[in-house]
A and B are shown apart, each in its own frame.
Chain A
Amino acid sequence: MHKRLLNRRIGTEGTLLSILMLLCVVLALATDSFLTFQNLFDLLNNQSVNIIFAVGLVVVLIAGGIDISFAVAASVVQYVVLSLLINYLGGGNWLLGILLSMLVGMLLGLFNALLIHRFRIVSIIVTIGTFNLFFGLLMYFTSGVSIYDIPDWLYYSVPLLDLPAERGSATLYLPAAVMVVMVILTWFILARTGFGRAIYGFGSNPESARRSGVSVWKIHAFAYGWLGLCAGVAGLMQAHIVQEVVPNALIGQELPILAAVVLGGATLGGGRGSVLGAVLGVLLLAIVQNGLNLLGVTPYAFRMIVGLIILIAITTSNLGNLLPRTTKARNV
Chain B
Amino acid sequence: MGDIAIRARHVSKIFGQSRVLDDVEFELRRGEVLCLAGENGCGKSTLIKIINGVYTPEEGVELSFGDETLSAISPIEARNRGIHVIWQDLALFPHLTVAENIVFDDYVAKPWRPISYKDALTQSREIIQQFGLDLDPMARVEDLSIAHRQLVAICRVLRAGASIIFMDEPTASLTYKEVQTLLGITRSLAAKGISIVLVSHRLVEVLEVCQRVTVLRNGKLVGTYPTEGMTQARLSTLMTGLELEFTPRAETHKGAPVLELKNLSREGEFENVSFTLHRGEILGLTGLLGAGRTEIAHTIFGMTQPTSGQLLKEGQPLTLNSNRDAVHHRIAYLSEDRLNLGLVQNQSINMNTAVTVLPRLEKPRFFLSPQRIKALTVHWIEQLKTKVSDAELAVSSLSGGNQQRIALAKWLATEPEVLILDCPTIGVDVGAKAGIFDIIRNLADQGMAIILISDEAGEIWMNADRALVLRDGRIYSEVIPAETTEEALEAIINA
B114 touches A197 (CB 8 A): no
Inter-chain CA distance A332–B140, complex, in Å, is 13
B366 interfacial contact with A, CB 8 Å: no
Residues 169 to 198 of chain A near chain B (Cβ within 8 Å): 192-195, 197-198
Q: Which residues of A contact B94 (CB under 8 A)?
A: 204-205, 271
B93 interfacial contact with A, CB 8 Å: yes
The secondary-structure label for the interface of chain B is loop
A207 touches B91 (CB 8 A): yes
B95 touches A194 (CB 8 A): no
Given A200-B96, A212-B104, A332-B145, A194:B113 Cβ within 8 A: yes
Q: Which residues of A contact B15 (CB under 8 A)?
A: none
Residues 136 to 166 of chain B near chain A (Cβ within 8 Å): 140, 143, 145
The secondary-structure label for the interface of chain A is helix
Shortest distance in angstroms between B91's beta carbon and chain A's nearest beta carbon?
A: 4
A120 interfacial contact with B, CB 8 Å: no
B108 touches A211 (CB 8 A): no
A213 interfacial contact with B, CB 8 Å: yes
B91 touches A201 (CB 8 A): no
Residues 49 to 71 of chain A near chain B (Cβ within 8 Å): none
Name the residue of chain B whose CB is nearest to the CB of A4: B143
Residues 189 to 242 of chain A near chain B (Cβ within 8 Å): 192-195, 197-198, 200-201, 203-205, 207-209, 211-214
Cross-chain contact of B112 among A193, A201, A209, A271 (Cβ < 8 A): A193
**Which size bracket describes the interface of A in this complex?**
20 to 34
B132 interfacial contact with A, CB 8 Å: no
A316 interfacial contact with B, CB 8 Å: no
Tell me which of B90, B106, B145, B268 has the highest count of chain A C-beta atoms within 10 A of its own C-beta. Answer: B268
A327 interfacial contact with B, CB 8 Å: yes
B112 touches A197 (CB 8 A): no
B365 interfacial contact with A, CB 8 Å: no
Given A329-B290, A330-B268, A194:B112 Cβ within 8 A: yes
A195 touches B111 (CB 8 A): yes
Inter-chain CA distance A213–B107, complex, in Å, is 10
A324 interfacial contact with B, CB 8 Å: yes
B96 touches A197 (CB 8 A): yes
Q: Which residues of A contact B106 (CB under 8 A)?
A: 194
Name the residue of chain B whose CB is nearest to the CB of A267: B95
B22 interfacial contact with A, CB 8 Å: no
Inter-chain CA distance A207–B89, complex, in Å, is 10
B62 interfacial contact with A, CB 8 Å: no
B91 touches A194 (CB 8 A): no
B96 touches A194 (CB 8 A): no
Inter-chain CA distance A93–B287, complex, in Å, is 76
Given A201-B104, A327-B268, A193:B111 Cβ within 8 A: yes
B105 touches A193 (CB 8 A): no
Given A212-B104, A332-B145, A193:B115 Cβ within 8 A: yes
Inter-chain CA distance A201–B108, complex, in Å, is 10
B110 interfacial contact with A, CB 8 Å: yes
Given A193-B114, A193-B115, A208:B107 Cβ within 8 A: no
Inter-chain CA distance A56–B70, complex, in Å, is 49
B459 interfacial contact with A, CB 8 Å: no
Inter-chain CA distance A327–B290, complex, in Å, is 12
B269 interfacial contact with A, CB 8 Å: yes
Shortest distance in angstroms between A213's beta carbon and chain B's nearest beta carbon?
A: 5
B108 touches A194 (CB 8 A): yes
Inter-chain CA distance A195–B108, complex, in Å, is 7
B439 interfacial contact with A, CB 8 Å: no
B295 interfacial contact with A, CB 8 Å: yes
Q: Closest 5 CB pairs between A and B? A: A194-B107, A271-B95, A195-B111, A208-B91, A204-B93
Known: A197-B115, A205-B92, A209-B93. 10 other contacts (CB 8 A): A194-B107, A195-B112, A197-B104, A200-B96, A201-B93, A201-B100, A204-B96, A205-B93, A208-B89, A208-B92
A-B contact pairs, 8 of them (CB 8 A): A194-B109, A195-B107, A197-B104, A200-B95, A201-B107, A205-B91, A271-B96, A327-B268
